[in-house]
Amino acid sequence: MTNAVLDNIKQRRSVRKFDRYHVTDEELESILEAGRWAPSNSNSQPWRFVVIRNLELKEALAEIAKRVTIFHPEIPDASVVVAVCVNQVEDPDHYVEDGAAAVQNMSLMIQSLGLASYWVGTYQLDGEKGTAEAEIKKLLDVPDTYRIIALLPIGKAASDKRSNRKDLTKMIYYEKFGEDKPR
């Protein structure tokens, strides 16, 4: 079956090396709009997006991110970085899922625009002072009621990357976990 949405999902890759390219305001607005339209618990929409184009801030983010990912050096090469923040007070039970849905929507929009990104997971369960997430919050002046779910460096991919997936039949069970075939 051919489907434009599924094709976009299949083509999306985590790309960590970027060519020189300026993500336009129009492209950025489309990406942010995709995040805005993500599903959220009770339509709480607890996310806020911090847009970072400043090279010094991107370099500082890369320094902090090296504690949570091995792919930190490429952050400054991205045209723009979006910090996806969610208010844990607005939705205390589902803010992580809400933020993840926004990141996924944005990632798919990035792919559909012919751009590239990767998900820098900054959220840490404990959220304590001294963590990479806490340092990023301080750097970006993010209030205490918010958590940073991810950073999304965005730009043009420096190379075409391919990926494989496990066979779908190895991931599906019917009715109960472990049941290979429908009865």
pLDDT band for 2, please (50, 70, 90 cuts). confident
pLDDT band for 9, please (50, 70, 90 cuts). low
Average of per-residue pLDDT across 124-135? 73
Average of per-residue pLDDT across 40-61? 95
pLDDT band for 170, please (50, 70, 90 cuts). confident
Helix residue ranges per DSSP H, the chain: 4-11, 25-36, 55-65, 95-112, 132-139
DSSP state of 167: -
Give the per-residue pLDDT at 14: 65
Q: How far apart are CA 30 and CA 106, in angstroms?
A: 9
Domains recognised in the chain with CATH numbers = 4-170 (3.40.109.10)
For 72-107, write each residue's pLDDT tens digit: 668 899 999 999 999 999 988 999 999 999 999 999
Residue 182 has pLDDT above 70, yes or no: no
The owner of tokens 């985590």 is 14
- Per the CB < 8 A criterion, the answer to whether 155 and 21 are in contact is yes
pTM of the model: 0.86
Give the per-residue pLDDT at 165: 74
Least confident segment among 26-35, 56-65, 73-82, 121-130: 121-130
- Tell me which H or E stretch contains 179: none
Q: Which residues pair with 97 in a beta bridge?
A: none
Q: How far apart are CA 150 and CA 148, in angstroms?
A: 6
For 40-50, write each residue's pLDDT tens digit: 999 999 999 99
